[in-house]
Structure 1
Amino acid sequence: MPETKHHLQRSLGLVDATSLVAGSMIGSGIFIVTSAMARDIGSAGWILLLWLITGFLTMTAALSYGELAGMMPTAGGQFVYIQRAYGRLLSFLYGWTVFTVIQTGVIAAVAVAFAKYTAVFFPELDTEIFAIGAAWTFTYKQILAMISIVLLTYINTKGVKTGKTIQLIFTLAKLVALFSIIIFGLYVGLKSDVLSQNFANMWEASKTVVNPDGTITVTKLAGMAVLGAAGATIINSLFSSDAWNNVTFIAGEIKDPKKNIPRSLFLGTLIVTIIYILANIAYLALLPIGGSVDGATVVQKGIAFASEDRVGAAAASVFMGNIGVFVMAGLIMVSTFGCNSGLVLSGGRLFYAMAKDRQFFKSAGQLNAHDVPAKALWVQCLWACVLCVSGKYGDLLTYATFASLLFYMLTIGGIFILRKREPDAERPYKAFGYPFIPALYIVVTTAICVALLRYDTLNTGLGLCIVALGIPVYYLFMKKGEI
């Protein structure tokens, strides 16, 4: 009896692809990071401007990727685009960085956020198991984060249809959570004077630091200091809007990918951008930007000092009372769990594509009985669990987002290269506003990366080191004949 040959099944339509874009973007960030941004920039005007810039950059990149997706509608997405434009070394560096920090780092960060919100119901999860000095602790939250990654990996090995169903259900749940904050938040918040107070001095920026002794230092920001702080703290909103490109990884399982991938990129990023802006307006209508680290109520703590940075839960408690914290925490648990489902599903397809091109472990290029690259998923799972143990949420956020920005710029630069090198190639969709909009994205993102290197040198420097480490790894693999 001949052996059954397995191949990727094109079973995902436009709704599924759009759900993956939006679902992968909406995870934990929108419910958490505005708190850190309030401490970093301390201005309602600047906070909203940074979210608007984030939305513009995200949609610009997504519209640009549409051209590449139409040209190369195959599994692996961005990995394939980079290889066609720049060659195998840079495509390997991208895949290496996705594996070591981008995809797995985001999976780990979202899993940690899932555990953080679960701790609202089970405070025992915050219990310290052991620690190494004051800089690193291991708690039950990290164990829960790892368990969630293992569970989602197992589910996604059972077939793309199973993963698709979970993704759609959980995306709808997280939209309910966000629309609840937006509708009820604005309804209640606009009856108070909180919003007007937050916008009274909307461009007066300041940085708030909590000292080791519990006191607070507030530093007024002006001139280049404001731009530097804005460039550094925008990493938070960019993280919240990241992972939109994951749909390109599963191009081999999308129906009519030349049309559906560009459409899903546009629709998904547009929906999320609008929701994020409205959610932040709702936060500003319900809670003061500043506050007290020792505040007795969520209003007294404000956005900047929301407990555990859970600004989404704090906002919900304003219009729902104490039960709001638990309701929102539950919905955010659903949101982060669903987000990671999409990230796990799509990441495995990238490593599968790398393996098929002899740029990853050979076994990762095998499909199981459900036509899923199960071994690639389990390798991804293992490393994401390691990152859950090794890093804090903020560190994982910076590593992953900074590295993502570098390769987003590189990929969009590939549009210019391919337009010149392959002018007659089939392009079912052409990048919106070419060459000005893609060029503007590269310029603005470069400025953000420079600011990050200046104001968060350690974490961004480590991110660069991880990318650079891929160079000797590439030549080691090539020497062994794997590449």
Structure 2
Amino acid sequence: MSETKFKPVLGLWDATMIVAGSMIGSGIFIVGADILRNVGGSGWLIAVWLITGFMTITAAVSYGELSGMFPKAGGQYVYLKEAYNPLVAFLYGWSFFAVIQTGTIAAVGVAFSKFTAYLIPAVSEDIVLLDLGFTHISPAQILSIVIIILLTYINTKGVEGGKAIQTTFTVAKLLSLFGLIAFGLIMMKGDVWTANWTNAWDLHKLNTDGSIETYTTIAAVGAIAAAMVGSIFSSDAWNNVTFIAGEIKNPQRNIGLSLFLGTLIVTIIYVTANIMYTAVLPLHEIAYAEKDRVAVAASHAIFGNIGTVIIALMIMVSTFGCNNGLILAGARVYYTMAKDGLFFKQAGQLNKFAVPQQSLWVQCILASLWCLSGKYGDLLDMVSFVVVLFYMLTIVGIFILRKKRPDLPRPYKAFGYPILPLIYIVMGVTFCSLLIYYKPAFTWPGLIITLIGIPIYYFAVHQKKQTQ
């Protein structure tokens, strides 16, 4: 026998752990290298994380207003539908399914496998199990799929299992990250710190051979935008908690509060982790760490050879918990789309444990295919652009809804309205515009995937009318 509605069993603590746990995957351990290659100085490295943190927290507290107005499963998809129309909401849902969520699940799954290979070399990404010509299948890809299937299965048995995994793994990774940061700052090397923070605000490109390239003023702004691709990817998925509003107790209060607390905790960790990197590693070793694994190099500098094992275990815990949050929350969007007649009908049904089982398995299949494609890295370059685009549209929706539906109850109002939401929109437009100009390969593919959703939407609407 199937359930007809979600069960509200998640409290503020659970919701905050979903926000923080979904945000922290493998990015903080890796992307600092690419950021530093683009900006060249320690000051700018930290500035990129601070700008991203400001944007993330601003967006999160703005979403608090929307979550209080529409405390139902589907989150951002619902907000876009209410502020604009079903087409805009569907384009978000389609992009979310096609690239944003499933691509991120694949990338986080493969990151888990890559670091597992430190401890178990047999699952290395460098081993070729099967050569298909257009792509190679490695043990790392197979392990990532196994993990995705396992977490999907656990989440089909009810939200309680997913909640237990999320809380346990998020607490473990928060404590281990705080521990790593504390040890790093205690063991900081004075000469390295001094060298790194001398001329910290000199913005330039760092080359492999240690030489630098200066930027023109406009190119410098473009370099900051390119650097932010990594930090924005690492800070994404904070909005996942809005998708499971139907399973949160007192959602009008707890979603907005969990968004603020979760994004604040993660921003503090990200900024202090990068300060710690500059305390133990010379800039060139951060920028050109082997395979961009900055945290491995930093841990080795702090703990010696055992540092590699410590970081491998930390990233395994981090990515496992992160993927659980992504898998748990993502399926609720497809459930809501199916309820609107815009996704597979079966995806709009709950099983006896009151979870959208079919949605979970459809998401699992596509994420697994992305794992096999080997293109998840390219996908995530596109994701940052599309994600920020929809974040901006959603925040503009706050202004639209205040005019269109002024009488709707707003138990929580956007902090700093209208100034902070406007600042986010200006920063978002600047970021997206600079990416279009300086990194077109990061933008057009994601935009094309989003626009493919237009004919799919009208086909779905036509099919819906035919069956009515």
TM range (shorter): over 0.9
Question: Are the aligned partners of 1:103 and 1:400 in contact in 2 as well (CA < 8 Å)?
Answer: no
Which one-letter code corresponds to 1:181 in the other structure?
L
Residues 339-379 of structure 1, C-alpha deviations (whole Å, 9 max, x = no match)? 00000000011111111111111000111121110100000
Aligned residue pairs: how many?
A: 464
2:169: which partner in 1? 170
- Give distance in 2, aligned partners of 1:395 and 1:463: 10
Question: Structure 1 residue 24: deviation in Å?
Answer: 0.5
SS in 2 for 1:480: helix
Question: Structure 1 residue 232: deviation in Å?
Answer: 1.1
1:375: which partner in 2? 358
TM-score by length of 2: 0.96
- Identify the match of residue 421 of structure 2 among 422, 428, 438: 438
SS in 2 for 1:243: coil
1:415: which partner in 2? 398
Higher helix share: 2
- Give distance in 1, aligned partners of 2:98 and 2:207: 31
- Identify the match of residue 231 of structure 2 among 237, 246, 264: 237
- Identify the match of residue 222 of structure 2 among 218, 228, 243: 228
Q: Provide closer, same or farther for how the CA distance between residues 246 and 130 of structure 1 changes in structure 2, counting only shifts above 3 A.
A: same
Q: Provide closer, same or farther for how the CA distance between residues 107 and 350 of structure 1 changes in structure 2, counting only shifts above 3 A.
A: same
Question: Structure 1 residue 431: deviation in Å?
Answer: 0.5
Runs of at least 5 residues in structure 2 that lack an aligned partner in the other structure: none
Which one-letter code corresponds to 1:45 in the other structure?
G
Question: Structure 1 residue 131: deviation in Å?
Answer: 5.2
1:14: which partner in 2? 12
- Give distance in 2, aligned partners of 1:53 and 1:389: 34
SS in 2 for 1:120: helix
- Give distance in 1, aligned partners of 2:443 and 2:135: 19
Deviation larger for 195-204 or 96-105: 195-204
1:281: which partner in 2? 275
Q: Percent identity?
A: 55
1:54: which partner in 2? 52
Residues 184-223 of structure 1, C-alpha deviations (whole Å, 9 max, x = no match)? 000001x43211111111122332455xxxx777422241
1:480: which partner in 2? 463
1:252 aligns with 2:246: yes
1:38: which partner in 2? 36
2:87: which partner in 1? 89
Runs of at least 5 residues in structure 1 that lack an aligned partner in the other structure: 291-301
TM-score by length of 1: 0.93
Q: Provide closer, same or farther for how the CA distance between residues 4 and 41 of structure 1 changes in structure 2, counting only shifts above 3 A.
A: closer
- Give distance in 2, aligned partners of 1:376 and 1:226: 43
Residues 384-404 of structure 1, C-alpha deviations (whole Å, 9 max, x = no match)? 111112244531321222211
Q: Provide closer, same or farther for how the CA distance between residues 177 and 455 of structure 1 changes in structure 2, counting only shifts above 3 A.
A: farther
Question: Structure 1 residue 123: deviation in Å?
Answer: 2.9
SS in 1 for 2:199: coil
Question: Are the aligned partners of 1:360 and 1:482 in contact in 2 as well (CA < 8 Å)?
Answer: no
2:129: which partner in 1? 129
1:387: which partner in 2? 370
- Identify the match of residue 120 of structure 1 among 118, 121, 143: 118
Q: Provide closer, same or farther for how the CA distance between residues 81 and 108 of structure 1 changes in structure 2, counting only shifts above 3 A.
A: same
Q: Provide closer, same or farther for how the CA distance between residues 441 and 194 of structure 1 changes in structure 2, counting only shifts above 3 A.
A: same
Residues 79-135 of structure 1, C-alpha deviations (whole Å, 9 max, x = no match)? 0000001011001101000000111111111111111111212233121335577x9
SS in 2 for 1:219: strand
Mapping for residues 256-405 of structure 1, pairs under 5 Å: 256-290=250-284, 302-405=285-388
1:180: which partner in 2? 179
* Aligned-residue RMSD, C-alpha: 1.7
- Give distance in 1, aligned partners of 2:313 and 2:44: 30
SS in 2 for 1:207: strand
Question: Are the aligned partners of 2:130 and 2:137 in contact in 1 as well (CA < 8 Å)?
Answer: yes
Question: Are the aligned partners of 1:358 and 1:482 in contact in 2 as well (CA < 8 Å)?
Answer: no
SS in 2 for 1:193: helix
Question: Are the aligned partners of 2:3 and 2:352 in contact in 1 as well (CA < 8 Å)?
Answer: no
- Identify the match of residue 190 of structure 2 among 192, 204, 222: 192
Question: Are the aligned partners of 2:96 and 2:102 in contact in 1 as well (CA < 8 Å)?
Answer: yes
Question: Structure 1 residue 7: deviation in Å?
Answer: 2.1
- Give distance in 1, aligned partners of 2:3 and 2:203: 61
Q: Provide closer, same or farther for how the CA distance between residues 238 and 420 of structure 1 changes in structure 2, counting only shifts above 3 A.
A: same
SS in 1 for 2:129: strand
Which one-letter code corresponds to 1:310 in the other structure?
R
- Give distance in 2, aligned partners of 1:312 and 1:428: 41
Question: Structure 1 residue 449: deviation in Å?
Answer: 0.7
Which one-letter code corresponds to 1:128 in the other structure?
V
Divergent runs of 4+, >3 A: 3-6, 129-133, 135-138, 215-218, 391-394
Deviation larger for 364-373 or 408-417: 364-373
Which one-letter code corresponds to 2:129 in the other structure?
I
SS in 1 for 2:464: coil
Q: Provide closer, same or farther for how the CA distance between residues 365 and 453 of structure 1 changes in structure 2, counting only shifts above 3 A.
A: same
Residues 437-458 of structure 1, C-alpha deviations (whole Å, 9 max, x = no match)? 1011011011111111122212
Question: Are the aligned partners of 2:334 and 2:343 in contact in 1 as well (CA < 8 Å)?
Answer: yes
Residues 225-251 of structure 1, C-alpha deviations (whole Å, 9 max, x = no match)? 111111111010011110000000000
- Give distance in 2, aligned partners of 1:381 and 1:401: 22
Residues 281-323 of structure 1, C-alpha deviations (whole Å, 9 max, x = no match)? 0011011111xxxxxxxxxxx1112122111121111111111
1:72 aligns with 2:55: no
Question: Are the aligned partners of 2:165 and 2:324 in contact in 1 as well (CA < 8 Å)?
Answer: yes
